[in-house]
Structure 1
Amino acid sequence: MNVRRSAAALATIAVIGSAAPAVAAGPSPSASPSTAVPSGLYGSTDPQYDGVWRQSLALLAQHTVGVRPAAKAVDWLAGQQCANGAFAAFRADPAKACDAKVMVDTNSTAAAVQALAALGGHDAATGKAVSWLKSVQNKDGGWGYEPGGASDTNSTSVVVGALAAVGEKPAEVVKDGKSPYDALLKLALPCSGDGAGAFAYQPDKKGKLAANADATAAGVVGALGRGMVVKAAGKAGGARCTDSGKPTPAQAAANGASYLAHAVAKDGYLTSVLPGAADQPDYGNTADAVVALAAQGGAGQARKPLQWLKKHSEAWAKQSGPAAYAQLIFAAHATGTDPRDFGGVDLVTQLNATGPAPQAAEQSAKDAKDAKDAKDAKDSDKHNNSGFGVWWFVGICLVAGMGVGFLLSGRTKRQQP
């Protein structure tokens, strides 16, 4: 699930289809970070705008495939939390208390909650984070990227995932009688006209809704009350758009899936939403669409974009880093696909290589060292014991030789006349 991408923010994203979250206008993250990358953080690019986001996705993806993340990677993420429970995109000095200048946001906070809740043992941290999220819920039931900002589909959906991750029922998290589902339904387009069934990111200045594929992928998952990690629907669901009856979250999810299925029907991918950019594949949004389609209608509904990603996403993921690998792992998981053989690519190994070695790898290295030490000790003992054995044997032979000499001497004396 990608986070907020406003027109100004989209201009800052350097890589088409990047998994990095949106930020206020400014310099794009560079390959040569101006901020030192902490040793516990995944990825090598400047973490200023997406440190917590990419770390959360990386750790969540590792957990999803049974990999135990490095302790220092988990500690780094937990250490980014402010005293009030919120997370910023990145704090270079987590020992320094958060103040008004620290720009906390709902997306980083909700992503961290999903990761820490999955890993377990962080109930206090996730509890504080969820309390903060509830405190900044808008009157329409949704959330914006920044506290107090207008609700948008992406932010509301990632918060829904955080609520579900800690066992909360999103429908019961209300502000002025409105739940997150009410906010999402207000951002869903009808089944007639342009963008039928899609979700908008936000209303425009005139209050009109425009279809947004990125928001639609997020909105489908959010309307289903799910987070970033989903399993395919138990039985195939219909991705048919209908406005009949009272709008429900489930129907809004089906409508959104219908829009996505139509969008990927021809080429197998979603196109970039960068303002002014020529149509080109958006890998991150396509991966999100796979998750959404599988969650709503089963793995079969996501087959075409999944196959496209298997053939074409390797270079993008390598360039974009840990969050991109995580998105592909989520897509594989949602469709029952082996992430260790994703079009011939081992996504798990590639993700692990972008940061500190997971605990299993650390333990394997320790076990190998212990085994070597034990072998060296055994060889040393064998050597020492072998030396002792040789000299013990020589000594026995000398004693035996002396005994034979005495025996022969006695026999000689008895034989003398």
Structure 2
Amino acid sequence: MLTAARLGAAALTAALLTGVAAGPALADVPSPVIPDGLYGKSDPTYDGVWRQSLALTALTAAKVTPADSAVGWLTGQQCEDGGWLSYRAAGAACDTTFEDSNATAAAIQALIALGGHQDAVDKGVAWLKANQNADGSWAFNPGNPGDANSTGLAVNALFAAKADPAGVAKAGKSAFDGLALFQLGCAAPADQRGAFAYQPGTAGALDPNALASGQAALAAVGGHLPVASSVRADAAPKALVCASDAPAAPAPVSHADSGEAVGAYLAARLAANGGHLDLVTPGAEPKPDYTATAWAALALTQSGHPQQAAGTVDWLAKEGATWTKGGTDAGATATLLLVSQAAHRDTAALTGQLTALGPAPKATDASATATAPAKKKDGGIGQYWLIGVGLLIGVGGGLLLSLQRKRNAHL
């Protein structure tokens, strides 16, 4: 029987795969107690460390110095063995069975971006190495079969920590070998080659998955958060080259070809679908997968193909209010800010929205909005005006959610 913690892990995995926030139903559920220092006001049970890590990474890249309470909350969530749970209530012990590789990988990247937390980073990297599967992959929780998302995120953290994934191995299988387990190669139909599956299906079959492809792609191209690549290629990503008599048996895609192959797959899917990826579930109409789309844009930008990501960045900006729930969803807002930063777009409004979702920062560097249009000097008032706008947006989003709850209660 599934325990509450296992149910929590399963819920977050489902949420990451669907690109929607995990959490309880809106009706008949008491408002959660939000710990001091945590970004966002929704229940942190399934995504506390994840959203905090993304928020700290994005704000640090925006030259915002987060409050000590925000950083201390994240470091205080680390278990003695170096891993992180999805969320740990104050005073609760760490149940290592439910340590979360996704949260751990994100926390490592956040602490590296912040700087000054090398001991915690080293312990986190050691935890990833200790919990690598024998096939080179990582699972969401240790001891389970690996998946593309978790493996990709672990590789991101290794890159951020300057730990060569080729040298991080278990039973002779490296992190790159683990990632290759989930990538479709020449045995797949031409329009699926380069994609990543979440996990192998029946008899080892690999089916393309949007979020798995997006998140694994950033690892395949050698990236991590925050994406700050200035490389630009003139050509589109190169599709996987296959012989006309490609073998029926699956063959791993080489690491040298992996990044361009998934980039070509993602670019083709985005171009054919109006700039975004879809969540496809049996018996339901496809709907936009914001999270998968964002990670695809990050991967294409990291790999030197920002022109293939430009239309997607435009689409995300247009749909941003829907995805971020008016700037009240900390994880979505942070991810959208990371995408905008990588694409060198105007980030002032998003920075203000995300700042308003957590404790007041220690400092804000006005030069962080260098990508925004030049503004007249106002003696520093503009900076606080932006934060004020973010607060108003956050309050407005909260009122809308409250009204929606009441509406749902009467339906």
TM over 0.5: yes
Separation in 2, partners of 1:298, 1:333: 15
Farther off after superposition, 288-297 or 10-19: 10-19
> Sequence identity of aligned pairs in percent?
43
- 1:206 aligns to 2:214 (yes or no): no
Shift of 1:298: 2.3
Question: Does 2:194 align with 1:197?
Answer: yes
Gaps of 5+ in 2: 1-7, 244-251, 366-379, 382-411
What corresponds to 2:264 in structure 1? 258
Q: 2:286 aligns with which of 279, 284, 305?
A: 279
2:127 to 114, 126, 132: 132
- 1:137-170, Cα deviation, whole Å (9 max, x unpaired): 0111110111011111110111111112222111
Query: How do 1:27-38 residues align onto structure 2 when only pairs under 5 Å count?
Result: 28=24, 30=26, 35-38=32-35
Q: Give the Å deviation of 1:180.
A: 1.1
Q: Aligned partners of 1:199, 1:47: CA distance in 2, in Å?
A: 29
Match of 2:276 in 1: 269
Q: CA RMSD in A?
A: 2.8
- Mean alpha-carbon deviation: is it higher for 320-329 or for 30-39? 30-39
Inter-partner Cα distance in structure 2 for 1:230 and 1:60: 10
In the other structure, the counterpart of 1:293 is 300
* 2:333 match: 325
Q: Matched residues in 1 for 2:89 and 2:324: separation?
A: 25
> Contact 2:221/2:260 (CA < 8 Å) preserved in 1?
no
Name 1:151's counterpart in structure 2.
146
Is the aligned partner of 1:241 residue 2:248?
no
Q: Aligned equivalents of 1:355 and 1:8: distance in 2?
A: 27
| Contact 1:232/1:298 (<8 A) preserved | no
What is the CA-CA distance between 1:308 and the residue it aligns to?
A: 1.0
| 1:17 counterpart letter in structure 2 | G
Deviation at 1:225, TM superposition (A): 2.5
Asked whether the 8 Å contact 2:182–2:199 carries over to 1, the reply is yes
Distance in 1, Cα, partners of 2:87 & 2:105: 14
Aligned length: 346
Task: Give the alignment's TM-score, normalised by structure 2.
Answer: 0.77
What is the rounded CA distance, in whole Å, between the counterparts of 2:57 and 2:30 in structure 1? 24
Q: How far is 1:196 from its partner? A: 2.3
Determine which of 80, 84, 89 is the counterpart of 2:86. 89
Q: Is 1:228–2:217 an aligned residue pair? A: no
In the aligned structure 1, how far is the partner of 2:136 from the partner of 2:25? 32
The equivalent residue for 2:375 is: none
Return 5+ residue gaps in structure 1 as ranges.
1-5, 21-26, 341-345, 369-417
In the TM superposition, what is the alpha-carbon distance from 1:321 to its structure 2 partner? 0.7
Residue in 1 that maps onto 2:19? 17
- Mapped to 2, the partners of 1:354 and 1:261 lie a distance apart of 33
Aligned to 1:355: 358
Q: State the distance in 2 between where 1:276 and 1:7 align.
A: 25
Give SS of 2:278's match: coil
Aligned equivalent of 1:50, options 47, 50, 58:
47
After superposition, where does 1:52-71 map in structure 2 within 5 Å? Answer: 52-71=49-68
TM-score with structure 1 length normalisation? 0.76
Q: What amino acid maps onto 2:269 in structure 1?
A: A
Q: Is the 8 A contact 1:233 1:296 kept in 2?
A: no
Structure 2: distance between partners of 1:187 and 1:316: 28
Distance 2:126 2:364 in 1: 36
Shift of 1:264: 1.2
CA contact (8 A) 1:29 1:47 kept: no
Q: Tell me the secondary structure at the aligned position of residue 239 of structure 1.
A: coil
> Structure 1 pair 112/29, CA: closer, same or farther in 2 (3 Å)?
farther
Structure 1 residue matching 2:64: 3-state secondary structure: coil
**Contact kept in structure 1, 2:215 and 2:292, CA below 8 Å:** no
Pick the structure with greater CA Rg.
1
